[in-house]
């Protein structure tokens, strides 16, 4: 009947608006039951369970057999890792797989059969599940004694497919691949041509004294290739050219040409290419989000306009305010937004809303909360008003910064003076007295500021919250110190009492004071800009970090499987983490493998990372390890670092351009989002685009 | 009289047009004598003499006293360097100074007294000369025994002031400095805050076993600062964190935070800032060049229009074609351009030229020579026409590439097979026979191509010239081999004869074959793009390279003066060159100074660079050396490398954007210049701007 129809329309509108809020696609089934299932599936509980499942299956690696997660990393002292009995991790795995099966079925059902075949991600999801389950069965039938477990390498896929942001990012990385491949090919050509030159140039000669270069670096093709590949990381520069150079200075031309072409030009070309490809990335992704939002709102409008209540004679389709209010009450959204929409709906005098009005109502979603700081208290007394003016003035804040700087300098002076003193010679009186004075000032500052601004207004500024919290902690620490060790006096060096010694207490106080000094950041424009850029970057990097995690996980598991028995899983983890940050050292020690044997056995605990490499080379899997290593170097050091630089450039340059325009607005504290950053460049989708897309919807039949 | 006036106007026009061609400023004196002097000064001879003088004065460093330029760098074998007698270098210097005095007087005279005071470069030039001459007098009065020679550090200034491109670049680097300084300040704050944290965190404890971290890395303020500064170059990563890490894993958080913030964020922020500042740099510089050119042409028009021949009644000022022809004949310019202008002038039917027509005539200057390849010969015979079609077809070129690739692969295979063979086992027959066959093919290809294209057309392509030249050299080498060693046969291993052994000949041939393989570059689009980008980059980098040379020279001379006696000048040169390419190794060995003592004495010859550092540290100038080192690291590794990346990004992104538009034009080979790259973005200066600038000319009084 009409009532049931109306209910359906209302429900559809609710879901479409929720889709718009979450930037989700609206291409799903829209009958009553499916809508219920859809809202269930995207409810917080269900999504939370799904995330938990993914976390659990990824975390299994830490307790599965070749894992070496123990309390200490020192191989001399640690106990053998706990080995879960066969079937324990496997049953957890099965549970996770079942969850994924449910997930994929619901997802497939919701988008419909036709759409399912177009969605490569879903098909890949199902294939992954089938392979995993098959592998699981094999695993159980061998009583967990089998060597290769493919399903472990496939695990990060579950993380990947669950995040639309990561899928989008992967797509745009994918579109960069052809160009990246060209540069990598160019690098390969460069490398191989120079390798041939090197082999011809540094050939074996009759005089054994003369061909040191040949013996050490260019004995055969793999050696030559390796020498030059390592030169590309500059790890063996200038060692590699010294023997030839001492024979004839002209040989250095070869190495200089190679380094300049490979290192300076081709490597930086990769940065240029990746940056060039990612220049539009952020804008494009924000633009498509905007389109999804407008589409969801428009879809909601269209279904609501089909409601039977609508006056029959209306020329244009429109929506009654009542219906919208009914929908809004059931939509899950930020309460601030909801209230703002309700308010403007009530202020609107008309009874019917056109499409444009409807769209305009929901623009509230795009707006960020302009923070309204609560007002300062109004004092009657003239004296109090003067106080308020004095301590509410920015100069009082600057004075606080100066005092904090003075405190830091005093700590620094004491540290320098005490640097070489024996513990027994040290006197904590001076530092104790100084800090006592400064902390009193901080307390005073806190109280005066609260007096001037009122508690609510004071707390509404994040910098004040940071400052106040640290001041309170410092005060508590100071009181605790006095309670335990008494007041400072010359020769104040009491015995150890309570939880921490006096010296530890003083150190902790000092560290907090240094940390508190960061409150100057918002006062320095350039610093504030840098910090906000960094925060934005972190937001935008989440998807990249996720993909890196996926690759990292796959690499780690592959490494554990490849080098099983040879090395502990923990070593591989450490090695993978270290590569991008100390590539040269890793390389140097890797290729000096045989020389570090004695050093390795002496320092086995300390420098596990390199000893892993030594162990690798001893275990005769040298060539495999080399390929594994080069692949990881390319991905982590070359590609990922360049992606990072490209994103940083993109973010920073946008910010910088905008800075000048925003100068005047700086008083209002926006909660900056990526959407906001591009506000003035974004294009609103046109009515036609929206309607065309709506008519392509696989499940929604619009009346007209 | 009118005749003399007319002569003056003609001369002025000539000089203005020459200014326009060379993109020079027109703000110089314009009376007859000054014009004569001006043309003299900018004549090729005078400029060449000036350049020679600058080269000579810079080159003096190689033979002056603390120099160590000898044939071998091995300190064990080399003779003491030749010490020029006191007065020799000094008299050469005096000659150079006299040249510079003449140079600065002419320049100052030509721009006029008023302008002189506005020109800071000229004033600095004069000051530098005065200081240098004073220093020279002091030097002679001490009979060359004085220690400090300031004039040597000032020398690179003469190079700097003589190049307008370098001055322009320096100006734009200068405008980037505030932002760079902000980031460097940020780095300093980052470093000092973390240093304080580290000193508080890794303080001396009672248990001597527990404070390894303190002993090795954080003993006092300078040590801590150094440890973290080195961590910023990642040279001591992860060594620096190992002692703390093995005590408690949580300490690694400190080091990870430091590295991520400092290395990943702040260092890359520097790239972003420098790129952001240099984004418009190329465009702006090309734009101002264009303005200078248009201004020069316009000035020539204005003076020519004041000629008495002009009909008095003309409404608009205009120039007679005859006068222009007269001027053109005397102007020194590219003959192709001159002919083109003459031709279009003759084709123009009118007798008088308006300003617009005049300007349009000289647009020929902006155009690049569109290379017209000579036509192919036209054969009568049907057979020859078919041959011509077959061998003139691109596919024949591709076939040649495939054959070259096959040749390279065969060489590679032989190299791999021969890699571990003793010299006595090696048989050169196989390689000799293969190369013989391939070289015959190359010859055939060369002849057939000449047949198809005609010699002139063949030679008009650079890739063909490259290819042909190498083929001829290969042929000559091969014939020489056969003439000396006979034809190849199994067991072909004759004794040494002539200049080179057979093995050396074969190696040389192989190297040339590998080199010849580069002919594939123009056939691969992406490679061609990269290569043209690199060539452009080299052009644009000249100014930067010049400034780097200036800084390098100043640093080298300062180093020689600071560490006089402690180290050889040659070591300092090597050290400065190596820093950007193997910063980590330099750092590591620098700070392990005391440990490398035995290693240094053993390998003194081979690794001079590091031993220099060791010697430094022994000579108790440790702290000076550290500051010197950090300054050079900042300039060479951080700033210059980032400048390079910024320029590469700028160039590459412009090229890439343009590639798509140009796709259709790719048949026409442009001689690409920076001006051309920006052709479609450049703004033509308006008439008003030009006239306003002309009226501001300090020496030219225009009639109206």
Give the tens place of pLDDT for each residue, B265-288. 888 888 888 888 877 777 788 888
pLDDT at A146 over 60: yes
Which residue of chain B is at minimal alpha-carbon distance from A508? B200
Per-residue pLDDT at A448 = 92
pLDDT at B664 over 50: no
Who's near A694: CB < 8 A, 6+ residues apart? A295, A298, A299, A302, A700, A702
Among A181-195, A620-634, B96-110, B672-686, where is mean pLDDT lowest? Answer: B672-686
pLDDT at B670 over 70: no
Q: Cis peptide before A119, with omega less than 30 degrees from 0?
A: no
Q: What is the pLDDT of residues B652-662, one digit of tens each?
A: 887 777 665 55
| Residue A465 token pair | 């919250």
Who among B199, B411, B582 is closest to A237 (CB)? Answer: B582
Dihedral through CA A609, CA A613, CA A618, CA A619, nearest 10?
100
Is B96 in contact with B56 (CB distance < 8 Å)? Answer: yes
Mean pLDDT throughout B177-203?
A: 87
Per-residue pLDDT at B620 = 45
Among A305-314, A561-570, B178-187, B662-671, where is mean pLDDT lowest? Answer: B662-671
CB contact under 8 A, A249 and B581: no
Residue among A176, A250, A584 with most chain B CBs within 10 A, to mutate: A584
Who among B246, B259, B581 is closest to A234 (CB)? Answer: B581
Who among B182, B242, B272 is closest to A653 (CB)? Answer: B272
What is the spatial distance between Cα A487 and Cα A483, in angstroms, rounded to a whole number? 8
What is the spatial distance between Cα A323 and Cα B379, in angstroms, rounded to a whole number? 86
Place of tokens 């004949």: B329
CB contact under 8 A, B656 and A201: no
| Residue A171 token pair | 């797509």
CB contact under 8 A, B503 and A203: yes
Q: How confident is the model at residue A126 (pLDDT cuts 50, 70, 90)?
A: very high
Per-residue pLDDT at B597 = 46
Is B121 in contact with B161 (CB distance < 8 Å)? Answer: yes
Burial of A424 (0-12, 13-18, 19+ CB in 10 A): exposed
Who among B237, B527, B578 is closest to A186 (CB)? Answer: B527
Place of tokens 């060039």: A276
Is A551 in contact with A173 (CB distance < 8 Å)? Answer: no
CB contact under 8 A, B527 and A275: no
Q: What is the pLDDT of residues B19-64, one digit of tens each?
A: 998 888 888 898 889 999 999 999 999 999 999 999 999 988 877 7
Burial of B621 (0-12, 13-18, 19+ CB in 10 A): middle
Mean pLDDT throughout B223-240?
A: 80
Per-residue pLDDT at B588 = 61
Domains in chain A: boundaries: 43-162, 173-285, 382-523, 533-669
| Residue A177 token pair | 């691949």
Gap from B198 CA to chain A (nearest CA, Å) = 9
Place of tokens 């004549």: B43
What residues of A are in contact with residue B423 (Cβ under 8 Å)?
204-206
Q: How confident is the model at residue A664 (pLDDT cuts 50, 70, 90)?
A: very low
The alpha carbon of A492 is separated from its chain's Cα centroid by a whole number of angstroms, namely 47
Q: Choose between A215 and B108: higher pLDDT.
A: B108
Mean pLDDT throughout B505-519?
A: 87
Q: How confident is the model at residue A661 (pLDDT cuts 50, 70, 90)?
A: low
Mean pLDDT throughout A455-470?
A: 89
Q: Ramachandran region of residue B658, left (φ > 0), alpha (ψ -120 to 50) or beta?
A: alpha
Which residue of chain B is at minimal alpha-carbon distance from A182? B526
Which residue of chain B is at minimal alpha-carbon distance from A423? B206
Crossing angle for the helix pair A221-232 and A583-591, to the nearest 10 degrees: 160
What residues of B are in contact with residue A274 (Cβ under 8 Å)?
none
Q: How confident is the model at residue B640 (pLDDT cuts 50, 70, 90)?
A: confident
What residues of B are in contact with residue A404 (Cβ under 8 Å)?
none
Q: How confident is the model at residue A102 (pLDDT cuts 50, 70, 90)?
A: very high
What residues of B are in contact with residue A201 (Cβ under 8 Å)?
507, 511
Who among B271, B275, B514 is closest to A196 (CB)? Answer: B514
Per-residue pLDDT at B702 = 72
Gap from A225 CA to chain B (nearest CA, Å) = 12
Q: What is the pLDDT of residues B387-417, one digit of tens each?
A: 888 888 888 888 999 999 999 999 888 888 8
What is the spatial distance between Cα A207 and Cα A200, in angstroms, rounded to a whole number? 16
CB contact under 8 A, A517 and B193: yes
Alpha-carbon separation of residue B25 from B37, B166, B410 (angstroms): 16, 16, 59
Q: Taking the CB of residue A683, how many other CB atoms lie within 10 A of it? A: 9
Residue among A610, A645, A650, A660 with most chain B CBs within 10 A, to mutate: A645
Instruction: Report DSSP state, residue B496.
Output: P
Q: For B138-192, give the secondary structure using H, E and C.
A: HHHHCCCCCCCCHHHHHCHHHHHHHCHHHHHHHHHHHHHHHHHHHHHHHHHHHHH
Q: Choose between A639 and B447: higher pLDDT.
A: B447
What is the spatial distance between Cα A513 and Cα A16, in angstroms, rounded to a whole number? 51
Per-residue pLDDT at B16 = 92
What residues of A are in contact with residue B652 (Cβ under 8 Å)?
269, 272-273, 276
Which residue of chain B is at minimal alpha-carbon distance from A609? B238
Distance between the two ends of chain B, CA-based, in angstroms? 20
pLDDT at B91 over 80: yes
Helix (H, G, I), strand (E, B) or coil at A283: helix
B688-693, Cβ contacts within 8 angstroms, sequence gap of 24 or more: B689/B291, B690/B294, B690/B295, B690/B298, B691/B298, B693/B295
Mean pLDDT throughout A469-482?
A: 91
Is A151 in contact with A140 (CB distance < 8 Å)? Answer: no
Mean pLDDT throughout A665-674?
A: 44
Dihedrals phi, psi of B427, to nearest 5 degrees: -120, 120
Mean pLDDT throughout B300-307?
A: 86
pLDDT at A682 over 50: yes
What residues of B are in contact with residue A530 (Cβ under 8 Å)?
183, 186, 269
What is the spatial distance between Cα B630 and Cα B226, in angstroms, rounded to a whole number? 10
Q: How confident is the model at residue A597 (pLDDT cuts 50, 70, 90)?
A: very low
CB contact under 8 A, B645 and A605: no
Is A208 in contact with B427 (CB distance < 8 Å)? Answer: no
What residues of A are in contact with residue B272 (Cβ under 8 Å)?
645, 648-649, 652-653
Is A457 in contact with A373 (CB distance < 8 Å)? Answer: yes
Q: Choose between B410 and A564: higher pLDDT.
A: B410
pLDDT at B612 over 60: no
| Residue B117 token pair | 């005071």
Per-residue pLDDT at A604 = 44
What is the spatial distance between Cα A218 and Cα A212, in angstroms, rounded to a whole number? 9
Q: How confident is the model at residue B576 (pLDDT cuts 50, 70, 90)?
A: confident
Per-residue pLDDT at B226 = 82
What CATH number does domain A173-285 carry, 1.10.287.70, 2.40.50.140, 1.10.357.10, 3.30.70.1150?
A: 1.10.287.70
What is the spatial distance between Cα B695 and Cα B699, in angstroms, rounded to a whole number? 10
Residue among A178, A243, A582 with most chain B CBs within 10 A, to mutate: A582
Who among B196, B205, B243 is closest to A412 (CB)? Answer: B196
Among A449-453, A675-679, B146-150, B574-578, where is mean pLDDT lowest? Answer: A675-679
Per-residue pLDDT at B528 = 80
Gap from B410 CA to chain A (nearest CA, Å) = 12
CB contact under 8 A, B582 and A263: no
Crossing angle for the helix pair A281-305 and A267-278, to the nearest 10 degrees: 20
Is A302 in contact with A702 (CB distance < 8 Å)? Answer: yes
Gap from B265 CA to chain A (nearest CA, Å) = 8
What residues of A are in contact with residue B200 (Cβ under 8 Å)?
415, 507, 510-511, 514
CB contact under 8 A, A205 and B423: yes
Which residue of chain B is at minimal alpha-carbon distance from A528? B186
What residues of B are in contact with residue A405 (Cβ under 8 Å)?
none
Is B594 in contact with B517 (CB distance < 8 Å)? Answer: no
Which residue of chain A is at minimal alpha-carbon distance from B201? A507
Residue among B530, B540, B599 with most chain A CBs within 10 A, to mutate: B530
What is the spatial distance between Cα B42 and Cα B432, in angstroms, rounded to a whole number? 56
Tell me how long chain B is.
Answer: 704
Gap from B631 CA to chain A (nearest CA, Å) = 21
Which residue of chain B is at minimal alpha-carbon distance from A588? B585
- Report which secondary-structure segment, H or E, holds A449: helix A429-453
Per-residue pLDDT at B678 = 66
Task: Please state, rounded to an integer, the average pLDDT across all residues of chain A.
Answer: 80
pLDDT at B602 over 50: no
The runs of H, that is alpha helices, within B366-454 are 382-392, 394-418, 429-453
Q: Choose between B514 and A430: higher pLDDT.
A: B514
| Residue B549 token pair | 């040379």
Q: Taking the CB of residue A308, how many other CB atoms lie within 10 A of it? A: 11
Per-residue pLDDT at A669 = 42
CB pairs under 8 A between A and B: 183
Q: What is the pLDDT of residues B433-478, one digit of tens each?
A: 888 889 999 999 999 999 888 888 888 888 889 999 999 999 999 8
What is the spatial distance between Cα A345 and Cα A504, in angstroms, rounded to a whole number? 60
Gap from A202 CA to chain B (nearest CA, Å) = 10
Strand pairing partners for B353?
Answer: B319
Among A530-534, A536-540, A573-577, B622-626, where is mean pLDDT lowest? Answer: B622-626
pLDDT at B158 over 90: yes
Gap from B232 CA to chain A (nearest CA, Å) = 10
CB contact under 8 A, A582 and B237: yes
Strand pairing partners for B352?
Answer: B320
Burial of B430 (0-12, 13-18, 19+ CB in 10 A): middle
Q: What is the Cα Rg of chain B in Å?
A: 33
User: B110-124 as b/e, with b when 16 or more CB fall inside 10 Å?
Assistant: bbeeebbeeeeebee
Mean pLDDT throughout B13-17?
A: 92
What residues of B are in contact with residue A518 (Cβ under 8 Å)?
193
Per-residue pLDDT at A107 = 92
Per-residue pLDDT at B677 = 61
CB contact under 8 A, A527 and B186: yes
Place of tokens 């442009």: B670
Mean pLDDT throughout A493-503?
A: 71
Q: What is the pLDDT of residues A196-249, one digit of tens each?
A: 888 888 877 766 666 666 777 888 888 888 888 888 887 777 777 777 777 777
Q: What is the pLDDT of residues A318-368, one digit of tens each?
A: 888 888 888 888 888 888 888 888 888 888 777 888 888 888 888 877 776
Instruction: Name the range with the highest mean pLDDT among B302-311, B446-455, B663-672.
Output: B446-455
Q: Angle A626-A631-A637 (CA atoms, 0-180°, nearest 5)?
A: 115
CB contact under 8 A, A419 and B221: yes
Q: What is the Cα Rg of chain A in Å?
A: 33
Per-residue pLDDT at A446 = 92
Q: What is the pLDDT of residues A510-536, one digit of tens each?
A: 889 888 888 888 877 777 878 877 887
pLDDT at B320 over 70: yes
Mean pLDDT throughout B593-614?
A: 48
CB contact under 8 A, B584 and A584: yes
Q: Is CATH 1.20.120 what the domain over A382-523 is classified as, yes or no? A: yes
In DSSP notation, A139-208 reads: HHHTTT--S--HHHHHTHHHHHHH-HHHHHHHHHHHHHHHHHHHHHHHHHHHHHHHHHHHHHHT---S-T
Per-residue pLDDT at A213 = 67
The runs of H, that is alpha helices, within A486-524 are 502-516
Which residue of chain A is at minimal alpha-carbon distance from B603? A242
Q: How confident is the model at residue A393 (pLDDT cuts 50, 70, 90)?
A: confident
Place of tokens 């291993």: B493
Is B11 in contact with B30 (CB distance < 8 Å)? Answer: no
Mean pLDDT throughout B181-188?
A: 86
What is the spatial distance between Cα A349 and Cα A344, in angstroms, rounded to a whole number? 10
Residue among B418, B514, B611 with most chain A CBs within 10 A, to mutate: B514
Gap from A272 CA to chain B (nearest CA, Å) = 5
Q: What is the pLDDT of residues A424-434, one digit of tens each?
A: 777 777 778 88
Of B378, B353, B303, B442, nearest to B8 (Cα)?
Answer: B303
Dihedral through CA B219, CA B224, CA B227, CA B231, nearest 10?
140
Per-residue pLDDT at A480 = 87
Dihedral through CA B687, CA B693, CA B694, CA B695, nearest 10?
110
Enter the ipTM.
Answer: 0.81
Tell me how long chain A is.
Answer: 704
CB contact under 8 A, A526 and B186: yes
What is the spatial distance between Cα B242 and Cα B221, in angstroms, rounded to a whole number? 20
Of A154, A173, A148, nearest to A281 (Cα)?
Answer: A173
Who among B200, B243, B582 is closest to A234 (CB)? Answer: B582
């Amino acid at each position: 009947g009409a009532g049931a129809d109306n209910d359906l329309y209302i429900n559809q509108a609710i879901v479409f608006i929720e889709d718009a809020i979450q930037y989700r696609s609206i291409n799903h089934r829209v009958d009553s039951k499916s809508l219920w299932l859809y809202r269930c599936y995207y409810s917080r509980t269900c999504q939370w369970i799904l995330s938990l499942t993914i976390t659990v299956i990824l975390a299994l690696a830490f307790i599965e057999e070749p894992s070496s997660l123990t309390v200490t990393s020192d191989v001399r002292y640690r106990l053998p890792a706990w080995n879960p009995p066969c079937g324990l991790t496997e049953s957890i795995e099965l549970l996770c797989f079942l969850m994924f099966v449910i997930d994929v079925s619901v997802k497939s059902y919701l988008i419909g059969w036709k759409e399912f075949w177009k969605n490569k991600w879903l098909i890949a999801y199902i294939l992954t599940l089938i392979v995993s389950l098959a592998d699981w069965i094999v695993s159980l039938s061998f009583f967990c004694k089998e060597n290769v477990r493919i399903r472990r390498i496939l695990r990060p896929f579950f993380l990947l497919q669950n995040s639309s942001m990561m899928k989008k990012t992967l797509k745009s990385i994918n579109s960069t691949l052809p160009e990246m491949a060209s540069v990598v090919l160019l690098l390969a050509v460069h490398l191989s041509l120079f390798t041939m030159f090197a082999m011809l140039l540094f050939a074996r000669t009759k005089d054994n004294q003369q061909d040191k270069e040949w013996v050490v670096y260019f004995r055969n093709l793999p050696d030559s290739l390796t020498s030059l590949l390592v030169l590309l990381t500059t790890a063996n520069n200038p060692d590699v050219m010294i023997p030839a150079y001492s024979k004839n200075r002209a040989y250095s031309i070869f190495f200089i040409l190679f380094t300049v072409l490979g290192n300076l030009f081709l490597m930086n070309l990769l940065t240029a290419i990746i940056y060039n490809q990612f220049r539009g990335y952020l804008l494009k992704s924000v633009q498509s989000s905007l389109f999804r939002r407008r589409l969801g709102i428009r879809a909601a409008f269209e279904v609501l306009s089909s409601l039977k209540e609508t006056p029959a004679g209306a020329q244009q389709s429109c929506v009654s305010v009542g219906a919208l209010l009914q929908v809004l009450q059931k939509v899950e959204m930020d309460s601030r937004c909801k209230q703002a929409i309700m308010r403007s709906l009530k202020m609107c005098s008309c009874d019917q809303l056109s499409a444009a009005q409807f769209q305009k109502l929901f623009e509230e979603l795009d707006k960020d909360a302009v923070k309204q700081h609560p007002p300062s208290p109004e004092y009657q007394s003239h004296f109090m008003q003067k106080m308020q003016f004095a301590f509410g003035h920015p100069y009082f804040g600057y004075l606080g910064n100066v005092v904090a700087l003075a405190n830091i300098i005093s700590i620094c002076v004491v540290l320098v003076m005490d640097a070489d003193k024996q513990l027994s010679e040290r006197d904590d009186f001076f530092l104790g007295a100084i800090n006592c004075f400064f902390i009193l000032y901080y307390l005073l500052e806190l109280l005066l500021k609260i007096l001037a601004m009122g508690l609510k207004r004071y707390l509404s500024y994040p910098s004040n919250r940071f400052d106040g919290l640290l001041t309170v902690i410092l005060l508590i620490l100071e009181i605790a110190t006095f309670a335990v060790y008494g007041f400072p006096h010359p020769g104040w060096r009491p015995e150890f009492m309570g939880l921490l010694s006096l010296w530890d207490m003083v150190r902790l106080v000092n560290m907090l004071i240094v940390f508190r000094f960061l409150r100057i950041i918002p006062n320095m424009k350039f610093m504030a800009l840098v910090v906000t850029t960094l925060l934005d970057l972190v937001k935008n990097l989440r998807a990249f970090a996720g993909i890196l995690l996926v690759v990292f996980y796959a690499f780690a598991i592959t490494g554990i499987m490849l080098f099983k028995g040879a090395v502990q899983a923990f070593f591989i983890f450490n090695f993978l983490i270290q590569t991008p940050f100390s590539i040269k050292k890793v390389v140097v020690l890797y290729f000096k493998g045989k020389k570090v044997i004695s050093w390795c056995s002496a320092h086995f605990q300390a420098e596990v990372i390199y000893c892993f490499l030594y162990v690798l080379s001893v275990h005769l899997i040298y060539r495999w390890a080399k390929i594994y290593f080069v692949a990881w170097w390319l991905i982590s050091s070359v590609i990922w670092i360049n992606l990072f630089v490209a994103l940083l450039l993109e973010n920073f340059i946008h910010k910088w351009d905008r800075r000048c325009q925003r100068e005047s607005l700086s008083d209002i504290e926006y909660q900056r989002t990526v959407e906001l950053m591009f506000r003035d460049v974004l294009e609103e989708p046109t009515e036609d685009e929206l309607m065309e897309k709506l008519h392509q919807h696989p499940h929604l039949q619009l009346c007209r």
